[in-house]
Copies of this chain bind each other. A is one copy, B any other.
Amino acid sequence: MRRNLRPHTPMLRLTKKADYGLMALKYLAEQAYLAEQAGSDARNSGARSAKDIAEAYHIPPQLLAKILQTLARAGLLLSHAGTNGGYALARAAADISAFEVIRAIDGPLFITSCITIHGTCDLAGHCTIKEPLRKVNDSITDLLSGISVADLIEPADQLPAPMAGGLISIER
């Protein structure tokens, strides 16, 4: 009867912004690939406006614009203002890892709520949990670092072997 139908209860989730960012990167990577194939001029190869990308994925244009600005500030994208401006990848798609994108948008990710930058938690001393958890954190970082936006453009295919280290060990 009550509307307590468990709204979502998600956790350890990626923010929607990071999701949008990844989508945009993927889109740009595809465009860059197509432009290169078509042999168009080096300039404006695959550059697309924020509005175009937003429309392609039906995401709020203004929000995407802000995300793209963040990415540009982080050095992952090149922006070009003006009439035929837009955004383009700053590097090759294979050289941009998902980890960089997520960190640029959501900030440094740490799985434990205590580890700040140098492990000095206010609970240090009476909590020995953080050390094993940090290993998990590092593993996730490695995992995300091993995935490039180039790996995202072919969803149906498996990721054969284009990644640096496919295997991640728990003990770092």
Any B CB within 8 A of the CB of A168: yes
Binds B, one of A18-26, A33-41, A72-80: A18-26
Residue in chain B with minimal CB distance to A10: B110
Contacts A19-B114, A167-B167 given: A143-B147 contact, CB under 8 Å? no
Any B CB within 8 A of the CB of A128: yes
CB distance B16 to A113 under 8 Å? yes
CB distance A132 to B159 under 8 Å? yes
Any B CB within 8 A of the CB of A31: no
Chain A residues 6 to 53 lying within 8 A of chain B, measured CB to CB, are 6, 8-16, 18-19, 22-23, 26
CB distance A112 to B13 under 8 Å? yes
Q: List 19 A-B contacts (CB under 8 A).
A: A10-B107, A10-B110, A11-B18, A15-B113, A19-B112, A19-B114, A23-B129, A26-B129, A56-B126, A57-B126, A57-B127, A58-B123, A128-B153, A132-B147, A136-B143, A166-B169, A167-B170, A168-B168, A168-B170
